[in-house]
Structure 1
């Protein structure tokens, strides 16, 4: 029996995040609300997510926005057509407007940041499963602004950030987190030389001089 006195089965949840330690933490937090949610599976990449969602048939997918092989938007693109009843709730460290808008346009029903508590996350899962949108407080304004002129209005953007390719953003994000070139190469499954090429391109486009300036630039735009 649930906390409101009704007999409802827990919402079946599938976790998608490229950090195993974080997935373990989410599992532990959600385990404190067994009457509300049940974690049925997890994945650490886009490919694993697509296969796992098809296998476990969850009601709600907790979806990381940034992953090395395409991220949340790619999962949405590959899954929603075949599994229209699955609901997606983005769970990300990023609160950047462009990230929020991208996954909402892709079909996610809500977006919460990783500062959320376990109980709040369980409640958010139940809300989106019931058909209600859920956003962390400061993120709702991004969505309202972006969609105020209709569903095809342009997303909020940053002209300088828009100059970067998706792969350049991935490299920059990891660079700003303190990753060495070799670690970035391993995370993104590319060569160190390719990482160097992307960093050089980002430096040229942003007209900055070194990785430390790039890190500040990325942090100011909430890419980290």
Structure 2
């Protein structure tokens, strides 16, 4: 069963979504909160969600900060961002902040539930209307990495192992269990990977890993298989 954290300022929407999700046997809302609440991260730690659904409407320029803090509080949680617009700019900001999915609210609850399940299985999802611009922005920011014929040569042996498992769609505790290391060690290596590859998110790092370090051109189907 997927544990969910709902972060939205529209209480009626949260209540309606919670009621709808209560009919789904594989989904459970462990908590809900306003994005501006001072105890949001504490509540997130207690809820320990598999997926956090976050409305970015009131966050504006704080999107990156809030999502990063959520990741620190719940490193294994994947984030689905809700938006009130199809403007690609906030979608790019969400991707840079590490969101696994970005969904306009107009798509409705049924599609949101489908995206939650996809993200819960380790996939990423962005709508076709903005996907091209998101991938283009991430590719441009990634830029050339490494040296010589192996752009990933800047990584240590252990960092390559972590990145390899990450590129399979796993993260956090799953990576730790597979490599027999602690979650804290995974976090340390992940930070090192992002810094050395000059990328902002695990999605970008996984894109580079799956392309052997070359700047990839990914289809919508392919990007769904990558972690955030």
Query: When the two structures are superposed, what TM-score results if normalisation uses the length of structure 1?
Result: 0.57
For 1:133 and 1:14, the matched residues in 2 are separated by 18
Change (3 A) 1:113 1:69: closer
User: 2:98 aligns to what?
Assistant: 107
Q: Is the 8 A contact 1:30 1:119 kept in 2?
A: no
Residue 119 of structure 1 pairs with residue 117 of structure 2: no
* Aligned match for 1:94, one of 85, 96, 99: 85
Once the two structures are TM-superposed, the CA of residue 148 in structure 1 deviates from its matched residue by 3.2
Once the two structures are TM-superposed, the CA of residue 100 in structure 1 deviates from its matched residue by 0.8
Q: Is the 8 A contact 1:65 1:73 kept in 2?
A: no
User: 2:35 aligns to what?
Assistant: 45
Once the two structures are TM-superposed, the CA of residue 45 in structure 1 deviates from its matched residue by 2.4
Change (3 A) 1:151 1:93: same
State the Cα deviation string for residues 70-115 of structure 1 (Å, max 9, x = none). 6543321212124221110101212222211111111111101112
How many residues align structurally?
A: 143
Q: Is the 8 A contact 2:44 2:73 kept in 1?
A: no
For 2:54 and 2:133, the matched residues in 1 are separated by 19
For 1:122 and 1:53, the matched residues in 2 are separated by 20
State the Cα deviation string for residues 114-151 of structure 1 (Å, max 9, x = none). 12232321221111111110122312222122123353
Structure whose CA Rg is larger: 1
Residue 12 of structure 1 pairs with residue 3 of structure 2: yes
State the Cα deviation string for residues 174-217 of structure 1 (Å, max 9, x = none). xxxxxxxxxxxxxxxxxxxxxxxxxxxxxxxxxxxxxxxxxxxx
User: 2:206 aligns to what?
Assistant: none
For 2:60 and 2:89, the matched residues in 1 are separated by 18
SS at match of 1:18: coil
Change (3 A) 1:71 1:41: farther
* Aligned match for 1:57, one of 48, 56, 62: 48
The correspondence of residues 30-179 of structure 1 with structure 2, limited to 5 A, is 30-32=21-23, 34-46=24-36, 47-67=38-58, 71-151=62-142
Change (3 A) 1:39 1:74: same
For 2:52 and 2:140, the matched residues in 1 are separated by 29
RMSD: 2.3
Once the two structures are TM-superposed, the CA of residue 152 in structure 1 deviates from its matched residue by 5.8
Structure 1 stretches lacking a partner, 5+ long: 1-9, 154-224
Query: When the two structures are superposed, what TM-score results if normalisation uses the length of structure 2?
Result: 0.56
